Amino acid sequence: MDSPEVVIDARLTGLEATFHPRSVAVVGASPWQYGAGGAGAGYLRALQEMGCPAIYPVNPKHEEIEGFRCYPSLAGIEGPIDHVVSALPARAVPGLVDDCIARGVRTLHLFTAGFKETGDEAMEEAEAAIVAAATSAGIRVLGPNCMGLYVPSAGLSFIIGFPTEPGPVAMISQSGTNAAEFVRSASRRGIRFSKVVSYGNAADIDESELLEYLADDPESEIVACYIEGVKDGRRFFQALKLAAAAKPVIVLKGGRTQSGQRAAQSHTGSLAGSADIFAALCRQTGAFQARNVEEMADLAVAFRFGGRLTGRRLAVVAGGGGVSVAAADEIDEAGLACPVLPQATQETLLEFIPAAGSSVRNPIDAFVGFDPKRLGDTVRIAGLAENIDAVIVQVDFSSPGFAMSPLASEPEKAIGALVDAIILAGATSGKRTIIVARPALDVEAVRHTVIFQDRCWQAGLPVYPTVGRAAASTAAFLRWNDGSL
């Protein structure tokens, strides 16, 4: 994929400046060596891939790393240095702060760990001293102990392989792994990102400031947060309220239990508050709580691809009796409805669906999933029913039905025909289509599922792995849409 053209304005201020550096220096960069550090090299590769306008490795021991000219210190770099990534050990950071002040750096991102989260009082003090020195000189500090920024529109990234094109979803995360997992899994369902911030110990830039910024950020239409602890409860409540009033905000709380809170303290030095208080906070502000990263991705998909859906009455097209019963249960349990289709609709469906061994009442239990004509007809006819607001279509490429279909000899063409039929059916009925692509069990089925899924989200359709997760997320989307939280 080509990297986007990155154009950075030198006059930006506040976090806007942090998100749009004209150049990035990676201090402590070293050539990649597995199991022996070299995180700096990972940043170089990720920044290059994302199209960062200027990348400067800094390490007096090397003249060149990963094909980049390497500098002995910040002082030797010509041109402005807006953003510094520190991959140095903790003890070397105070010296780096001095260098940053000397060069007028805007933001110091401390990938460096080993501060407050160690539980060591001296390191907690060292963290505070570093932040005080930097911020009093006008430098913002991100971290320590975090992966930093993924801002595709500004050419920033912290892991290779993230999408280079930007999109409307923002994420702030106290865990770099969770941020990466969210980006990697949600991007496979069509989610693209405005700003992703892994902010670790939050010694300076913290969850409240980030939420205040994102509440107003026109590039961010949906905000996801992974939070272990909150620095200032009152300010956080106000910031969450502000953001959640402006756009859908999804919150995943880490450290809900005693063991989880202890782990959070080892992780980011966070004092994780009570799970109950956090749940109440979400209810009061209108934020949506997710239980894990998977659910967070589901909600992002629902808000991103929810479309014009306004009603809660679903038709389900899913071959298999047990599957259909489960779908009906899960739709009811999510607070949505799965009404009986009108008699006329049922009769139209029975013109090409055999009565024996099938059901056309809703869920529609009929093996039409791998026949573009019959699948399209079924989705269209169900969507045209006056008591239906949206149609869920479930497909499972692990099922022998696909291997046995006449289209299996040309799977890519067949999958294209299926998606075309689904799109056309939705366009004709004017009702929303929601896709459920069951997780595939073997390599070949995964290949087919990925092709199918990509085609679906490219057409603007929401994709989920199960009917239960589709229903729960759709219910959240509808609560957002009509404000009835």
- What DSSP assignment string belongs to 433-477? EEEEEPPPSSHHHHHHHHHHHHHHHHTT--EESSHHHHHHHHHHH
Q: Is 480 helix (H, G, I), strand (E, B) or coil?
A: helix
For residue 142, give the H/E element and its range.
strand 140-142
Specify the amino acid at residue 249: V
CA distance 448 to 356: 30
Report the residue from 10, 34, 122, 234 that binds its own copies according to the rule CB under 8 A. 34
Using CB under 8 A, which of the segments 15-23, 241-249, 330-338, 416-424 binds its own copies? 330-338
Q: Closer to its own copies by CB, 241 or 448: give it.
A: 448
The mark string for 346-365 relative to its own copies (x by CB under 8 A, - otherwise) is ---------xxxxx-x-x-x
* Closer Cβ to its own copies, 176 or 190, answer by number: 176
DSSP 3-state assignment of 463?
strand
Asked if 12 touches its own copies (CB under 8 A), the answer is: no
Per CB under 8 A, which of residues 147..176 are in contact with its own copies?
159-161, 173-176
- Output 110 or 215, the one with its CB closest to its own copies: 110
Report 269-288 residues binding its own copies (CB under 8 A).
Answer: none
Cα torsion angle, 215, 219, 221, 223, sign:
negative
Q: Of 32 and 237, which CB lies nearer to its own copies in the complex structure?
A: 32
Of the candidates 136, 80, 75, 131, the one whose C-alpha atom is nearest the C-alpha of residue 108 is: 131
Rounded CA gap, 467 and 460, in Å? Answer: 18
Structure tokens at 216: 């107003």
Cβ proximity to its own copies: between 3 and 466 the closer is 466
* Of the candidate residues 93, 327, 390, 391, the single one contacting its own copies (CB under 8 A): 327
Would you report the helix, strand and coil content of the chain in percent, each value rounded to 5?
45, 15, 40
Kindly state the smallest distance separating residue 191's Cβ from its own copies, in Å.
13
Binding-residue pattern over the window 88 to 117 for its own copies, x denoting contact by CB under 8 A: -xx---------------------xxx--x
Of residues 217-256, those binding its own copies (CB under 8 A)? 226, 228, 254-256
d(CA 339, CA 313): 7
Stretch (H or E) spanning 276: helix 275-285
**Identity of the residue, 79 or 354, whose beta carbon is nearer to its own copies in the bound complex:** 354
Please state the closest distance from residue 375 (CB atom) to its own copies, in A.
11
Binders of its own copies among 48-87, rule CB under 8 A? Answer: none
Closest CB to its own copies among residues 159, 287: 159
How deeply is 28 buried, as exposed, middle or buried, from its count of CB atoms within 10 A (0-12, 13-18, 19+)? buried
- Residue labelled with tokens 């005080």: 132
Shortest separation between residue 106's beta carbon and its own copies, angstroms: 25
Return the residue of 92, 257, 350, 458 that touches its own copies, per CB under 8 A: 257
Q: Which 294-323 residues touch its own copies, going by CB under 8 A?
A: 319-323
For residues 362-421, which are near its own copies according to CB under 8 A? 363, 365, 367, 370-371, 374, 398-400, 404-406
Instruction: Establish if 260 lies at the interface with its own copies (CB under 8 A).
Output: yes
CA distance 203 to 200: 8
Residues between 174 and 203 that touch its own copies (CB under 8 A): 174-181, 184-185, 188
- Nearer CB in complex with its own copies: 178/220: 178
CB of 401 to its own copies, least distance (A): 9
Nearer to its own copies by Cβ, of 148 and 320: the residue is 320
- Is residue 47 within 8 A of residue 162, CB to CB? The reply is no
263: buried, middle or exposed (CB in 10 Å: 19+, 13-18, 0-12)? middle
CA atoms within 13 A on the CB side of 178: 29
Nearest residue (CB) to its own copies, 174 versus 429: 174
d(C-alpha 42, C-alpha 349), whole Å = 55
Between 87 and 215, whose beta carbon lies closer to its own copies? Answer: 87
- What is the three-state SS of 21-32? CCCEEEECCCCC
| Positions in 424-463 near its own copies (CB under 8 A) | 439-443, 446-447, 450
Size of the site for its own copies (CB under 8 A): 89
* Cβ contact 299:469 at 8 Å: no
**135 close to 141: Cβ distance less than 8 angstroms:** yes
Minimum CB separation from its own copies for residue 39, in Å? 9
